[in-house]
Structures are given as C-alpha cells and as structure tokens.
Amino acid sequence: MNKPIYIGAVAVILAFTLIYASVANAQNVTTNASNAMGNASAKANNTGASIMNKTEDLGKKIAGGLGSLLGNASQKLKEGSK
C-alpha cells in the first residue's frame, strides 16, 4: 500500500521539478533577449549621438571656413576698388 503512494509522490515531485525548470528557463531566455535588445538600443543611441556630434563639428568648421573665405573676398574687393 505504501509503495504506490511513494511512487505517486515521486512522480508528482518530478513533474513539478520539470515544470519549474521549464518556466525558469523560459524566463531566462526572455530576460536574455530583453537585455540584448536593450544593449543594442543603447549602442545605437550612442552611435547616433557620436554621429551628430561629428556632424555638428563639421558644420562649424564649414561655417568658419566660409566666413573666412567671404571675409577674404570682401577684403580683396575693397582693396581692388581703391
């Protein structure tokens, strides 16, 4: 009489263990995927910010160069009209 109860209890414990392991593994996979997406998003944001900073620096250099060029051209025109 005790042997079937013992086998049944072992079977139930084994079933709960397998179910728990499956759920824990699924949660781990979901967490890993979420972390990977978060890391990819952060990297994309950093890359975008870096590109924006470089573009801004380039724009300032171009504007500074154009200002210098126009200033020189204006000076030459003034000297030529004298």
User: What distance in Å separates the CA atoms of residue 61 and residue 76, rounded to the nearest whole number?
Assistant: 22
36-72 in b/e form (b: 16+ CB < 10 A) is: eeeeeeeeeeeeeeeeeeeeeeeeeeeeeeeeeeeee
**pLDDT tens, residue order, the chain (82 aa):** 577 887 888 888 888 888 877 877 888 888 888 888 888 888 888 887 898 889 988 888 888 888 888 888 888 777 776 6
